[in-house]
A and B are shown apart, each in its own frame.
Chain A
Amino acid sequence: MSAGSGRLLRPERLKELSLLAVIGVTILVFTPLVDGYLSGRFFNRVSTSVTIIAVLAVAQTLVIITRNIDLSLGSIVGVTAYVTGQFVAAHPDVTPVAGVGLAILIGAGLGCINGVLVAYGRVPAIVVTLGTLAIYRSWLIEYANARTITTDELPSWVADLPRTTVASWGDLDLRLVFVVALIVVVVLQATTAKLRWGRWLYAIGSNPDAARQMGLPHRRLVLSAFVGSGALAGLAGFLFLARFGTINVTAGQGFELDSVAAAVVGGASILGGTGSFVGALLGAVLIDLLDQSLVRVEAVTEFYRNAILGALILLAVIGDAGLSAWFRRRRASEARPAVGTVPSPAEATPAAPGPAASPIPDHDEEASHA
């Protein structure tokens, strides 16, 4: 058996570990710069604010794995937040499960429109979702008719959701919304690893031609990824509603790019076939942590904050390219001797084409016709 070293080096795991390391370094750097940085309150703030983008990063990763992209996520968040908000405001006695379920259903429906257009209409995902990004948003503007939903209209269980705590240690709280994001990550990480469906998603993104040649249900798989990402965006829309309470037609604007950023920093390749949901969460955490930290350092203006975040994304992609190149080189050097039988005397024979040890009749007359 060839070296087990490859097992430790699975690219996704390596990326997740390196992200954890970067998060650790970020915390070390900012601890002396910001008063009360290593406090429960700061953890509570980051862990609450990261949930929406974390869920969206997971949604985006699901689509990116299949070599597609979903730019309409921000608009789906806006539509679900507004429509669900209006519904629970009008029916204050609706159960939390029904409220969240409605948001997820609306999101899944909008994702289904994207998926059908991409998978069956054969329009590139970037075009489809750029279109639905505008259409969903325009519909919301038309539908909302300049009316804003306010916190007072919402039932108390919605408004209280962001502060709902599952457990606490001192002033460090484990908030329910953060737990929800963790559950989403764990569920997707597990299902894509353990279900054939998940492996097929990776397969169609990794080599679409081979997938087609193999007869994998290509279109249904793409559709399922978009429906899944829409549903998660619906969930994110509900989290948005609960967190901000005040919802107008701009809700969720720009989240599509934040989600792409977090997914890419988290190790998803825009070329498909690779990406992990734990990575997406870590990418979202890193971006949010940097954002929240830089805000607290007075020397850093808003302009530099954006520039630093942009540079981080570029670094992630460049680092990723370097990492995979390194992995391939390592693989090439370790696989070559391992593929063949034990290096045999045959290896020493000159690299003449054609087999060496075989019943070849009259094989010695090669040089005679130059």
Chain B
Amino acid sequence: MAAGPQDVAHVDGSNAAAVLELRGISKRFGATRALDDVSLTVRPGEVHALVGENGAGKSTLIKIVTGVHEPDEGSIAVGGEAVSLRSASDAQRHGIAAIFQEPLIFPHLSVAENIFIGHRDRGAVVHWGDLYREAKAILATLDARLDVRTPATGLPVAAQQAIEIAKAISLEAQLLVMDEPTASLSAHEVDRLFEQVRHLKAQGVAVLFVSHRLDEVFAVADRITVFRDGRHISTGERAEVTREALVREMVGREVSELFARRGHEPGETVLRVEGLTKPGAFTGVSLELRRGEVLGFAGLVGAGRTDVALALFGIEPAEGGTIELDGHRVEIRSPRQALRHGIAYLSEDRLHVGLSLPQSVTANITLPRLRNYVSRLGLLDGSAERAAAGELSRRLDIRTPTLQTAVELLSGGNQQKTMLAKWLDTRPRVLILDEPTRGIDVGAKTDVHRIIDELARSGIAIILISSELPEVLAMSDRVLVMRDGAQTGTFSRSEATQERVMTAAVGVA
């Protein structure tokens, strides 16, 4: 390690060394370039906001700063001293602390222990009296009223974040990274969090604040940096930046390299949704979907798009509003009911809920409709299964050594196609695709786009959820935009421009 455990000297004044200086950082994951020659400087005591679309590289940058990933190229300096951050404890030793959307809390340990558990310098014996006293003192400076002796289990997210901030203070962190810390907070709790951020700032701690919500960024940041497609686009003082300029910088991408859909006329209406509501997730979503139509769902992560999909597929049923299929009112309370109505949902989480990784391609494809492969004796008819799987894999061009190969051995793109085949085997009339091209390479992406186009032409009505704006715009006949659980716009193909959709997604008029 370049720098020893000695902590960065306490800095004050504006001419002091930068708390964090990144130079020429690049990071690839397989075929994707997550970060491309990025440089960023965080000054002592500033709140530096990092904004950008999904996939702009913010998360990768955070992971590099907190020691989760190591950069392929580039250098990191902390307090003017070159360092390498190979692990979370490296980062911690150099005075970098982080708060994630879901705080890392030990539920069985007391609040005070949660604050001090990572400390190595307190000796082998726990002095409970001191522990409680110091924890109480730190929480008091944050104005967080928690009983430091009780276990942390069941505390609301805001309180857990207060614990994490207290932890950062106790470690004398020089830089606190906050990754979407407000995602699950109420408005009042957001205010309290920002109070705590200002308190940290007053003590000279720098904050790297990552958020989708421009309101919050403008409320709390001193400087704002925009990332796009893994590149640093701009950094400016808050006072000198306008929202419109930010949005322009966040999008500003060409659509040309994407697959071009062949136009065709959609048929009659299949699905009609009125005022669909689920408190806490989304409210008043209305849409109409016709045969052979692709309806794009645009919006930022957490806007409620997936929640609407889960409601339509019956996993997390809606609590208000109506769903009509072919003009008939239907109730969808479970995925079984949804499948019976011809609705299928391709999950965004391929690895955890989308596929059974150790099982074969065939077993995965035939799983949802397995009863169709039961012979008269009540046994599974393996040859019928293989025939169906074989046909679908030819149609979707799934490249696998054999149909009996375990899915986990396939590439991401072929896994994605297997998941598509699985849902196509249910013969859906309405197919909901949630981030169908996430984490797959460019070639497979084009394949998936071609398949979507073909499926639409064959008369399937498709809802396409994607966080990649160019993809939504290229593939959709119409685009529905959501923000914070509300539908903020619906645009026809000709109306849907990057700026309009992005504006509706981030909330700038």
- Give me the interface of A with B, judged by CB distance under 8 Å: 1-4, 6-7, 9-11, 193-200, 202-203, 205-207, 209-216, 273-274, 324, 327-329, 331-332, 335-336, 338-341, 344, 346-347, 349, 351-363, 365-366, 368-370
Q: Which residue of A lies closest to B136 (CB)?
A: A1
Cβ of A206: which chain B residues have Cβ within 8 Å of it? Answer: 106-109
8 A-B residue pairings within 8 Å (CB atoms): A1-B145, A10-B149, A194-B126, A202-B108, A329-B154, A338-B146, A346-B187, A356-B187
B213-A357 in contact (CB<8A) = no
- Is A207 a contact of B107 with CB atoms below 8 Å? yes
Nearest neighbor of A204 in chain B, beta-carbon distance = B106
Whether A215 and B215, one on each chain, are in contact in the complex, defined by CB atoms closer than 8 angstroms, is: no
B185's nearest neighbour on chain A, judged by CB, is A353
B123 touches A340 (CB 8 A): no
A347 & B104 in contact (Cβ 8 Å cutoff): no
- Chain B residues, Cβ within 8 Å of A198: 126
B191 within 8 A of A: yes
Bound state CA distance, A200 and B220, in angstroms? 36
Q: Which residues of chain A have C-beta atoms less than 8 A from B187's C-beta? A: 346, 349, 351-356
- Shortest distance between the CB of A266 and any CB in chain B (Å): 15
Task: Say how far A187's CB is from chain B's closest CB, in angstroms.
Answer: 15
Residue of A whose beta carbon sits closest to that of B161: A339
Given contacts A356-B191, A358-B219, A360-B218, 17 further A-B contacts (CB under 8 A): A6-B147, A11-B151, A203-B109, A206-B109, A214-B104, A216-B118, A335-B146, A338-B146, A339-B145, A339-B162, A353-B190, A353-B213, A353-B215, A353-B484, A355-B190, A358-B194, A370-B487
4 A-B pairs with least C-beta separation: A215-B89, A328-B154, A365-B509, A354-B215
Query: Would you give the 0/1 interface string for B9-47, flagging 1 where the beta carbon is closer than 8 Å to chain A?
Result: 000000000000000000000000000000000000000
A193 and B126 form a contact (CB under 8 A): yes
Question: Could you tell me if A366 and B507 are in contact, using CB atoms closer than 8 angstroms?
Answer: yes
Q: Are B92 and A215 in contact (CB under 8 A)?
A: yes
Complex alpha-carbon distance, A335 and B107, angstroms? 14
Question: Among B104, B191, B484, which residue has its beta carbon within 8 angstroms of that of A355?
Answer: B191
Find out whether the CB atom of A203 lies under 8 angstroms from the CB atom of B156: no
Report B-chain residues with C-beta under 8 Å of the C-beta of A205: 108
A219 to chain B, nearest CB (A): 14
Q: Which residues of A contact B403 (CB under 8 A)?
A: none
B-side contacts of A207, CB under 8 Å: 104-107
The answer to whether residues A331 and B154 also contact, given A197-B124, A360-B219 and a CB cut-off of 8 A, is yes
The interface residues of chain B lying within 8 Å CB-to-CB of A215 are 87-89, 92, 118
* 0/1 string, B477-509, CB within 8 A of A gives 1: 000000010011100000000000001100111
A7, B147: Cβ atoms closer than 8 Å: yes
B148 to chain A: closest residue by CB:
A1
The verdict on B341 contacting chain A, using a C-beta distance below 8 Å, is: no
Least CB separation from A333: chain B residue: B154
Q: Is the CB of B154 within 8 A of A340?
A: no
Q: Cβ of B150 and Cβ of A331 under 8 Å apart?
A: yes
**Set A200, A329, A332, A347: member contacting B188, Cβ < 8 A:** A347
- Which residues 209-227 of B sit at the A interface, judged by CB distance below 8 A? 213, 215-216, 218-220
Q: By the criterion CB–CB under 8 Å, are B509 and A368 in contact?
A: yes
Q: B residues within 8 Å of A by Cβ? A: 87-89, 92, 104-109, 113, 117-118, 122-126, 128, 143-147, 149-151, 153-156, 158-159, 162, 186-192, 194, 213, 215-216, 218-220, 243, 484, 487-489, 503-504, 507-509
Task: Pick the residue among B143, B150, B507 that contacts A6 (CB under 8 A).
Answer: B150
Q: Please measure, in the bound complex, the distance between the C-alpha atom of A10 and the C-alpha atom of B152, giving whole angstroms.
A: 11
* Smallest Cβ-Cβ distance to A200: which chain B residue: B117
> Among B113, B117, B158, B243, which residue has its beta carbon within 8 angstroms of that of A339?
B158
- Residues on B with beta carbons closer than 8 Å to the beta carbon of A351: 186-187
CB nearest to A336 among chain B residues: B156
User: How far does the Cβ of A214 sit from chain B's closest Cβ, in whole Å?
Assistant: 4
Contact of A196 among B125, B243, B509 (CB under 8 A): B125
Are B189 and A369 closer than 8 Å at their CB atoms?
no
Q: Which residue of A lies closest to B113 (CB)?
A: A199
- Smallest CB gap from A363: residue in B: B215
Inside 8 A of B190's CB, which chain A residues have their CB? Answer: 353-355
Report Cα–Cα, A124/B56, bound state, in Å: 38
Q: Which A residues touch B122, using CB under 8 A?
A: 196
Residues of B within 8 A of A355 (CB): 187, 190-191, 194, 215-216, 219-220
From residue A198, how far is it (CB to closest CB) to chain B in Å?
A: 8
Please report the C-alpha to C-alpha distance between residue A195 and residue B191 in the assembled complex, in whole angstroms: 38
A44 to chain B, nearest CB (A): 37
With the chains together, A200 CA to B109 CA distance in Å?
10
Would you give the shortest CB distance from A329 to chain B, in whole angstroms? 8
What is the chain B residue whose CB lies nearest that of A213? B88
Q: How far is the CA of A70 from the CA of B107 in the complex (A)?
A: 23
A2 vs B215: C-alpha distance when bound (angstroms): 32
Asked if B123 and A196 make an inter-chain contact with CB atoms under 8 angstroms apart, the answer reads yes
CB distance from A40 to the nearest CB of B (A): 39
Q: Among A2, A199, A327, which residue has its beta carbon within 8 angstroms of that of B147?
A: A2
**B188 and A346 contacting across the interface, CB-CB below 8 Å:** yes
Contact B219 A327 (CB under 8 A): no
Do A273 and B107 touch across chains, with their CB atoms under 8 A apart? yes
- Cross-chain contact B215 with A214 (CB below 8 angstroms): no
Report Cα–Cα, A206/B153, bound state, in Å.
10
User: Looking at the complex, which one of B128, B153, B489 makes contact with A328 (CB distance below 8 Å)?
Assistant: B153
Q: What distance in Å separates the Cβ of B85 from its nearest Cβ neighbour in chain A?
A: 12
Docked CA distance A361–B216 (Å): 11
A194 touches B107 (CB 8 A): no
Q: Give the contacting residue for B189; candidates A216, A340, A362; CB below 8 A.
A: A340
Q: Which residues on B sit within 8 Å (CB–CB) of A1?
A: 145, 147
Q: How far is the CA of A369 from the CA of B118 in the complex (A)?
A: 48
Q: Which A residue sits closest to B93, measured CB to CB?
A: A215
Contacts of A202 in B (CB 8 A): 106, 108-109
Q: Which residues of B contact A195 (CB under 8 A)?
A: 124-126
- Whole-angstrom CA separation of A359 from B488 in the bound complex: 24
What chain A residues lie within 8 Å of B125 (beta carbons)? 194-196
Q: How far is the CA of A216 from the CA of B190 in the complex (A)?
A: 31
Instruction: Tell me the nearest residue of chain B to A347, going by C-beta.
Output: B188
Expressed in whole angstroms, the Cα–Cα distance for A326 and B220 within the complex equals 38
> Contact at A341–B484, with CB atoms within 8 Å?
no
**Quick check: A273 and B106 within 8 Å, CB to CB?**
yes
Task: Report yes or no: A210 in contact with B105, Cβ–Cβ below 8 A.
Answer: yes
Determine whether the beta carbon of B149 is less than 8 Å from that of A341.
no
Name the distance in Å between A203's Cβ and chain B's nearest Cβ. Answer: 5
User: What A residues does B219 contact at CB under 8 A?
Assistant: 354-355, 358-360
A50 to B389, CA, bound (A): 61
Do the beta carbons of B126 and A196 come within 8 Å of each other? Answer: yes
B89 touches A335 (CB 8 A): no
Contacting residue for A335 out of B128, B159, B216, B220, CB 8 A = B159
CB <8 Å contact, A7 and B216:
no
Question: Across the interface, which residues of A come within 8 angstroms of B191, CB to CB?
Answer: 346, 355-358
Question: How close is B491's CB to chain A, nearest CB, in angstroms?
Answer: 10
**Shortest distance from the beta carbon of A316 to any chain B beta carbon, whole Å:** 18
Residues of A within 8 A of B143 (CB): 341
A342 to B: closest C-beta gap in Å: 9
Q: In the complex, what distance in Å separates the CA atom of A262 from the CA atom of B218?
A: 57
| A2, B218: Cα distance in complex, Å | 34
Residues of B near A349 (CB, < 8 A) are 187
Is B156 in contact with A332, judged by CB distance below 8 angstroms? yes
Known contacts A335-B156, A338-B146; is A362 also within 8 Å of B243 by CB?
Answer: yes
Q: What CA separation (Å) do A193 and B162 show in the bound complex?
A: 25
- Given the interface contacts A340-B189, A357-B191, A360-B219, does A210 sit within 8 Å of B104 by beta carbon? yes
